[in-house]
């Protein structure tokens, strides 16, 4: 009996730890994120959401999603099957603005009776930026994280000095395909996600025109693999420099 109680206690503790870690990830997300209980009460929002709505986190978490945007049932109906809805939002100064929203989700191992709502910048600004062809104000990893959270299907074009360097396709939030000027698949993905001084352009991707998958595994695993490869390359360069320095030293001696 004691063993069963201990197992249950340990399981509950693990679930709380997973939920806490996931909350920390949501709070650090670059996209505006709001977590809503099934009765519409807002239980969590991050700094990006505070900035989007112009309301302090403490004030947001005292109200319901109905007051901020629309009833949860309406949002769920409009964002079914990964769709993005555009809804009016009431601002503290009495004005309104249009915001985009998608329904995110908690990972399978952290089931909760809540909904994750992922918002984006005002659609008016987004359309203006797309019309001008301006790059996104995020790096590759941040865009991939936002796409994963909102389960979007899109193409990320990575350019250097206005020249296309590579592309990553994301299908339903999962990294699907990658190619750069050197290679395709995982090696291209590894180079693209950590490349600096790039511009990231985001475009819609027609699911009917998606090529065969050449990236396998979830985003977290792919990013960990990319970080490992980068560290190994840096270590190899450091070792090569040490050898060169040693050769110079002994040659001078």
Summarised one tens digit per residue, pLDDT across range 231-244 is 887 777 666 555 55
Parse the chain into domains and list their residue ranges: 30-121, 135-240
Q: Which two tokens stand for residue 212?
A: 């065969």
What is the value of pTM for the model shown?
0.47
Query: 3-state class of 230 per DSSP?
Result: helix
112 torsion bin: left (phi>0), alpha (psi -120 to 50), beta (else): beta
Asked whether the beta carbons of 65 and 36 are under 8 A apart, the reply is: yes
Of 168, 211, 201, nearest to 187 (Cα)? Answer: 168
pLDDT, mean of residues 90-101: 79
The single-letter DSSP state of residue 115 is E
Q: Where does 29-95 show beta strands of DSSP type E?
A: 33-37, 42-45, 85-90
What does the pLDDT look like over 104-145, one tens digit per residue?
766 544 456 788 898 886 555 555 555 555 555 567 888 888
Domain 30-121 is classified in which CATH homologous superfamily?
PAS domain (3.30.450.20)
Q: Are 147 and 174 in contact (CB under 8 A)?
A: no
Distance CA 205, CA 212 (A): 14
Identify the residue whose tokens are 């062809």: 133
Q: Is the pLDDT of residue 65 over 60?
A: yes
> Apex CA 184: angle with CA 182 and CA 190, to 5°?
80
């Amino acid at each position: 009996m004691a063993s069963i109680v201990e197992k249950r206690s340990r399981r509950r503790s693990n679930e709380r730890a997973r939920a806490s870690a996931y909350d920390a990830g949501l709070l650090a997300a670059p996209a505006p994120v709001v977590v809503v209980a099934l009765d519409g009460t807002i239980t969590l929002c991050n700094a990006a959401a505070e900035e989007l709505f112009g309301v302090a986190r403490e004030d947001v978490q005292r109200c319901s999603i109905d007051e901020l945007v629309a009833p949860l049932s309406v949002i769920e109906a409009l964002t079914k099957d990964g769709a993005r809805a555009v809804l009016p939002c009431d601002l503290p100064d009495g004005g309104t603005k249009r915001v985009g929203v998608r329904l995110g989700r908690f990972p399978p191992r952290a089931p909760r009776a809540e909904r994750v709502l992922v918002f984006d910048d005002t659609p008016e600004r987004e359309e203006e930026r797309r019309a001008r062809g301006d790059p996104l104000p995020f790096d590759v990893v941040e865009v991939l994280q936002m796409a994963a959270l909102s389960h979007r299907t899109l193409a990320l074009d990575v350019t250097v000095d206005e020249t296309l360097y590579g592309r990553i396709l994301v299908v339903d939030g999962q990294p699907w395909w990658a190619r750069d000027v050197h290679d395709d698949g995982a090696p291209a993905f590894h180079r693209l996600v950590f490349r600096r001084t790039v511009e990231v352009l985001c475009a819609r991707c027609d699911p009917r025109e998606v090529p065969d998958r050449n990236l396998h595994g979830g985003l977290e695993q792919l990013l960990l693999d990319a970080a490992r490869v980068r560290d190994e390359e840096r270590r190899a360069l450091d070792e090569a420099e040490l050898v060169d320095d040693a050769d110079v030293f002994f040659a001078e001696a």
